[in-house]
Amino acid sequence: MNSVQTDVQIAVCGSAGDGTIAVGDILKRAMARAGYRVIAFDEYPAEIRGFGKCIARTRITTGQVYSMKPKTDVLVALNDGHAIPHVSEVRDFGAVIYDSAPIAAVQEGWHVSGHLRPGHLPYGLPMREISEQSTSANRSRNIVALGFVAGLYRLPRQAFIEAITEKFRTKAEEVTKTNVAAFNAGYERGGETYRFDKLEFGPPARRARSSLSTMMTGNHAIVRGCLEAGIETFFGYPITPATSIMERLAVEMPKHGARLLQTEDEIAAISATIGAGFAGARSATATSGPGFALMTEMMGLGVMAEVPAVIFVSQRGGPSTGMPTKTEQSDLNIAVFGGHGDAKRIVLAPTNVEGCWRCAGRAFEMAEAYQVPVVVLVDLYLSNRYETVVFPDTPPFLPKSWKPMHRDRQADLPYRRFELTTDGVSPRAVPGDVGGVHTATGLEHNEFGRPNDLSDMHLQMTEKRHGKLNAALKHPGITVCKRFGDTGKVDVGVLTWGSTFGEALEATILAREDGIRCAAMKVVMLSPLPVRPILRFLNDCKVVVVPELNYEGQFANLISGALGRPVKRFNRVTGKPIDVIQLLQAIRGAAGKRKWRKSAA
């Protein structure tokens, strides 16, 4: 029996317009069809077509992994100028595939072959020539290169042909035939090429669960969670990298009898979302940092009027317009604290694609249960990252008919919409409920909703709005935080949130293999913060490292401010995910072990 364990990362690098992202999409879908686990992440420019660099990275495994690899096993260069800076990312004895017959003479130092390191394995391929011979055009050189990779490593041809057919299903039949012909030509060339490296693809591991795995992005998973939770209205305005949430919901919501409206701006979007929540609908919007900044005033109204609403925020490089197509985690402050006054809300930060689905569905429950806006905070890396996910056969989310917080009112007494209850959650009526007439205002108010600015009333209502959210820490079906790795006392703890958790967990695994007692904790609920379990984790760690993709260490500040404990910061603002090897070095340094473990690369 073949026991080869597959863990291969393939990067395709080219210019916008070279079909780089399309090839990466076909690769990941083909390997998922073949039964492998896949994690993929694409980088692309903010400029229009024809400018800038695109990279499609795909990690293909038979076992469970949590992030992209720090080193690439195979680099495919569709554009030498863009690929040259990434040759250094190829591991020792990794493969570099390039066009060996460019259409014109290349200036000295401009061809990727001149930048290979002694340990790199070169595969020259006349991509353009093969494309012209097989399709009478050079436009399919990207598909030729893909076919070469598949043939070289004996990957299942049929899975690729099916993925190509699916990719071009909306095009003319001739487009599919042309691309299949180009793929087959590349496949044949790869199959007859002598292979220098020992890279092997073992058979995919059998899945214990009966449900079929699905490959999707974090944004796609958010859409699925919304639909399975019974979303009824969505209001949004396009903004990278959250736009695909609205685009996919626009296709799917009408099939479920739900409604979507593209508004004129983000202020209108959040206003309509809160209005729909006030009317009793399960409502949501999605945006990124610049748009969320415009929403903060209405977020305060949602808190004051105790209206359920769900806001998906996908972070990108900032401030201002910043870097629209690069990832960052610098909106934690505005998500948790944004707005004037003590406007406490629930903030969830999923750590993987499956978590995006779960947090999206639970967000609607929590918004209704605690009558408050709920922010689901992701980032471009997680929004656009593909993973293979296995979903349960039956969605776990509670339907809208679930109303544990809609307490029965006594018909003979005046309705107190903001009644001071023991848990802070008041009876909620929506328009049309008999006897439920009340005032909804942004002003401070009494139990009936009538404006009241007396000091005692303001104190009582502020305590109510904050205290009621503590129950969210025990909301069923949501993991607020979780520890991994060694138990008990450890040398180093890695405390993380959001998309950086995958890299943190892989670095922790490598550190443990080096003999370091190490543990990692992911924090999913950023507000209210699960102080007690985090404190227990800190007490178990000699040193705590907090990795995050922002300059200020916003999560480290949140933790230190809430618990009064110092932490070791590992901040990066490169626009890219955190490098696992760099984080491993930080863990080793924190543990006092400087020796480099060669196998880590």
Q: Are domains 214-390 and 481-600 of this chain identical in fold?
A: yes
pLDDT tens digit string along 508-523? 999 999 999 999 999 9
CA–CA separation, 282 vs 227, rounded Å? 11
Residue 230 to residue 249: CA distance in whole angstroms: 12
Query: pLDDT band at residue 49, thresholds of 50, 70 and 90?
Result: low
| Max intra-chain CA distance, the chain | 90
| Sheet arrangement for strand 37-43 | 121-125, 90-99, 72-77, 7-15, 53-61, 37-43, 386-390, 213-217
Task: Write down the architecture of domain 481-600 according to CATH.
Answer: 3-Layer(aba) Sandwich (3.40)
Question: What is the spatial distance between Cα 65 and Cα 62, in angstroms, rounded to a whole number?
Answer: 9
- DSSP β-bridge partners for residue 313: 287, 377
Is residue 287 a contact partner of residue 295, using CB atoms and an 8 Å limit?
yes
What residue spans define the domains of the chain?
A: 7-191, 214-390, 481-600
133-192 residue pLDDT tens: 999 888 899 999 999 999 999 999 999 999 999 999 999 999 999 999 999 999 999 999
So what's the architecture of 214-390 in CATH?
3-Layer(aba) Sandwich (3.40)
Rounded CA-CA distance 408/411 in Å is: 9
What's the predicted TM-score (pTM) here? 0.93
Query: What 3-state DSSP class applies to 246?
Result: helix
Q: Does domain 7-191 have CATH number 3.40.920.10?
A: yes
What is the rounded CA–CA span in Å between residue 482 and residue 551? 25
What tokens were used for 15?
Answer: 């210019």
Structure tokens at 126: 């006349």
**How would residue 103 be classed by pLDDT, with cut points 50, 70 and 90?**
confident
| Tens-place pLDDT, residues 228-280 | 999 999 999 999 999 999 999 999 999 999 999 999 999 999 999 999 999 99
- Taking the C-alpha atoms of residue 355 and residue 7, their distance in angstroms, rounded to an integer, is 23
Model confidence at 1, in pLDDT bands (50, 70, 90)? Answer: very low
Q: Are strands 259-262 and 213-217 parallel, antiparallel or unpaired?
A: unpaired
Instruction: State the Cα–Cα distance between residues 258 and 370, nearest whole angstrom.
Output: 23
